[in-house]
Amino acid sequence: MATQQQQSAIKGAKVLMVGAGGIGCELLKTLALSGFEDIHIIDMDTIEVSNLNRQFLFRRSHVGQSKAKVARDAVLRFRPNINIRSYHANVKNPEFDVDFFKQFDVVLNGLDNLDARRHVNRLCLAADVPLVESGTTGFLGQVTVHIKGKTECYECQTKPAPKTYPVCTITSTPTKFVHCIVWAKDLLFAKLFGDKNQDNDLNVRSNNSASSSKETEDVFERSEDEDIELYGRKIYDHVFGSNIEAALSNEETWKNRRRPRPIYSKDVLPESLTQQNGSTQNCSVTDGDSMVSAMPSLGLKNPQELWGLTQNSLVFIEALKLFFAKRKKEIGHLTFDKDDQLAVEFVTAAANIRAESFGIPLHSLFEAKGIAGNIVHAVATTNAIIAGLIVIEAIKVLKKDVDKFRMTYCLEHPSKKLLLMPIEPYEPNPACYVCSETPLVLEINTRKSKLRDLVDRIVKTKLGMNLPLIMHGNSLLYEVGDDLDDIMVANYNANLEKYLSELPSPILNGSILTVEDLQQELSCKINVKHREEFDEEKEPEGMVLSGWTPSPATNGDSASTSNNENPVDVTESSSGSEPASKKRRLSETEASNHKKETENVESEDDDIMEVENPMMVSKKKIRVE
């Protein structure tokens, strides 16, 4: 039961919720039932069928509608006298600026991606508004409190970056099923159904320069009168047959590797599939184009069933035929979406055929979808627990009980008989480039890298800036904004295509760049260090950004995903006599005991989130309760 002081703080509070998914539904319900009377919700997503098993404010009749609006309407039915305002929009839109954030007493995050989380963190810092972050992934969850100048901000500790793979591994020498998924999703699917102008050569990379890009373009080009099935077989034979033959011609590559097996459609499929499968008129179509499916006409019903080579080949051809027969207008504009049934079927089939060729174990549609969509399947009760903890911390924030703030982690298995692990928040990291303005260091080949590489790979991707401005000394090299005239835009676009050392104000070894985002009111310095060579395997981007506190060390691959809840960063409490006010390190034993259950997970929903490693902090100091 809330005290009079708590009730007063709750009723007078104006709260901003960002995200109305798995955590967001539980959070809105809990806020309303706890007495909050002025709640604003931002969410850009619409309701999918896959949301209905855990986002309990939604029903099948709501599919396709705004999550924020439907959640608002559902809660107002049992709390009609409170004020809830919904925004069906992206939190990164310009109307949600620093002045917008300043009107709130606390911001509560239930987001599904790192980029939006960083954006909200920076706006809260600029507006000096407390932020309560959250995330879940399966049975794991976390709630953290971020107060400017008093606790670390969300970016004080670096988050696991999405796992990247060298291009040569994906195109030529896959050894894991995830390599086949990346190939099928980011290369083959994009080549067939995405932007035709993008640079995407599916020929195997080898020392034989005879495999030309032009030949590939001819293979993938389909004439208007070309039979769809014959076109599908042509693609099949090219990517699974002749491309593998070309790769095998390079004997050096396979000296210490298992040689792949070329696969041709004539060896796997009957001469004509039309009579066997029926026409595309008999395909399954429900709830719009994203639910077109190749499985029903092939007699496939169970997504957890493991398909053999023949079944995967049939699905590959059938899915390709359906894209051209039922969704032809979308071809040229499609990107892979885990909620697009036909896309998932095509990518699963293509990945499995490639896996068969390279001797890699096959996976079911259910498993492949999880890998392709970076999905860690959600647990509704974890979302409910985390939502309750968010509200508890929000009340503490409103009462300004700084000494009682806690970062709380939800564990899958008890640690010292506890499933909820509360610890005191960390102090601000003096090395954080966001809240402490510490300069960063960029190692880059200034003679071979263009300004576009710097903008796309560093400023936008790693630093998360949406409307960047880049200055070198007094020279403005690049800027984004609606108020730029045509001449300025042309100049900045021209700069993007210039090598760093050839810019009007050349960027060389020792140069210091100022990078700003006016929307986020964030500015940082980057010290440039010229470097000639990079390891293609370990540094595939050809540049290295450093200068913040590194992530906790891990053993093995740091796989990463990205969707609705957040990363978990769990720590062990001490049972010794050490004073509670001191920080200490987790013992290596304690850390390793919990490593597997918390390592680099990130996701709620079938929206994936980033949950920081709870017990993966053996090299990270913590406050112990």
Name the binding residues. Answer: 19-24, 43, 51-54, 67, 112-117, 153, 156, 432, 435
Cβ proximity of 165 and 306 under 8 Å: no
How many residues are given for the chain? 625
Q: Is 254 helix (H, G, I), strand (E, B) or coil?
A: helix
Q: Are strands 418-423 and 140-146 parallel, antiparallel or unpaired?
A: unpaired
Cα within 13 Å of Cα(614), Cβ side:
36
Round to whole Å and give the CA distance between 311 and 408: 47
Q: Is 449 helix (H, G, I), strand (E, B) or coil?
A: coil
Q: Which residue has the tokens 């049939």?
A: 314
Round to whole Å and give the CA distance between 201 and 6: 61
| DSSP class of 66 | B
168 is catalytic: yes
List the beta bridge partners of residue 441: 527, 546
Round to whole Å and give the CA distance between 54 and 604: 10
Residues flagged as binding site for Zn(2+)? 153, 156, 432, 435
Residues flagged as binding site for ATP? 19-24, 43, 51-54, 67, 112-117
Residue 342's nearest CA partner among 282, 274, 295, 280 is 295
Round to whole Å and give the CA distance between 306 and 301: 11
Transcribe 569-615 into DSSP letters.
Answer: ---PPP-SS--TTSEEPPPHHHHHHHHHHHTT---SSSS---B--SS
Cα within 13 Å of Cα(291), Cβ side:
10
Transcribe 272-296 into DSSP letters.
Answer: -SHHHH--GGGSB--SSGGG-BSTG
Round to whole Å and give the CA distance between 533 and 510: 17
Round to whole Å and give the CA distance between 311 and 315: 6
Catalytic residue, from 124, 168, 180, 410: name it: 168
The amino acid that residue 202 corresponds to is L
- Give just the sign of the alpha carbon dihedral 309, 233, 181, 343: negative
Residues sharing a CB contact under 8 Å with residue 418, sequence separation 6 or more, in sequence order:
411, 573
Residue 622's H or E segment, with its range, is: strand 622-623
Token representation of residue 96? 């949600």
Task: Report, in angstroms and rounded to the nearest whole number, the Rg of the chain calculated over CA atoms.
Answer: 26
Neighbour count for residue 59 (Cβ, 10 Å):
11
Residue 343's nearest CA partner among 487, 219, 189, 218 is 189
Catalytic residues: 168
